[in-house]
Amino acid sequence: MFNTNTSNISTNVYGLSQKTRALSHITAEADVNRFLVGTTALREENEIALLEAKEGEGVRCISIFPHPKEIHSITSCPFDASLFFSVYNTSGGGSNNSNNDNNNTNNDFKSSLWRINESMDSIDELFELKGHTGTIKPIICDPSGSNNFIISLDDSNIRLWSKIDDQNEPTVVKQFGNLSKLSVGSINPNISNQLATANDVNIKGWDFRNAKETFSMDKAHSEQIRDIDFNPNKPYYLLSAGDDCKLKIWDTRQTKDPVKIFSGHNHWIWSAKFNRYHDQLIITSSSDNTVKLWNLYSLSSAVNSENNISNSNEQQSPNEQQQQTQQPIKQKKNKRNEDQLIKTYEEHEDSVYNISWSSSNFLFASLSYDGRFVVNNVPKEYSDILSYI
Which tens digit of pLDDT belongs to each residue from 291-320? Answer: 999 999 999 998 865 555 444 444 455 555
- What integer pLDDT is reported at residue 317 of this predicted model? 53
Question: What's the rounded mean pLDDT across residues 178-186?
Answer: 96
| Measured distance CA(293)–CA(301) in Å, rounded | 18
Q: Give the model confidence (pLDDT) of 276-288 as tens digits.
A: 999 999 999 999 9
| Measured distance CA(153)–CA(133) in Å, rounded | 9
From the number of C-beta atoms within 10 Å of its C-beta (0-12, 13-18, 19+), residue 95 rates as buried
- What integer pLDDT is reported at residue 30 of this predicted model? 94
Residue 302, H or E segment: helix 301-314
Phi and psi at residue 309, in whole multiples of 5°? -65, -40
pLDDT bucket at 1, cuts 50 / 70 / 90: very low
CA 61 to the chain's CA centroid:
21
DSSP conformation letters of 46-114: EEEEEEEEETTTEEEEEEEEEESSEEEEEEE-TT-TTEEEEEEESSS----STT-----TT--EEEEEE
CATH value at residue 309: 2.130.10.10
pLDDT at 186 over 90: yes
CB 238 within 8 A of CB 228: yes
Comparing 98 with 231, the larger pLDDT belongs to 231
pLDDT bucket at 166, cuts 50 / 70 / 90: confident
| Measured distance CA(246)–CA(288) in Å, rounded | 13
Percent of residues, the chain, with pLDDT higher than 70: 84
Q: Give the model confidence (pLDDT) of 17-68 as tens digits.
A: 899 999 999 999 999 999 999 999 988 899 999 999 998 889 999 999 999 9
| Measured distance CA(288)–CA(264) in Å, rounded | 10
pLDDT at 104 over 60: no
CB 42 within 8 A of CB 70: yes
In terms of residue numbers, what domain contains 169? Answer: 2-386
Q: Give the model confidence (pLDDT) of 320-365 as tens digits.
A: 555 555 555 454 555 568 899 999 999 999 999 999 999 999 999 9
Total count of domains within the chain: 1
- What integer pLDDT is reported at residue 5 of this predicted model? 46
Question: What's the rounded mean pLDDT across residues 86-107?
Answer: 64
pLDDT at 273 over 60: yes
Strand order in the sheet with 123-128: 70-76, 83-89, 109-116, 123-128
Read off the amino acid at residue 47.
E
CB 265 within 8 A of CB 288: yes
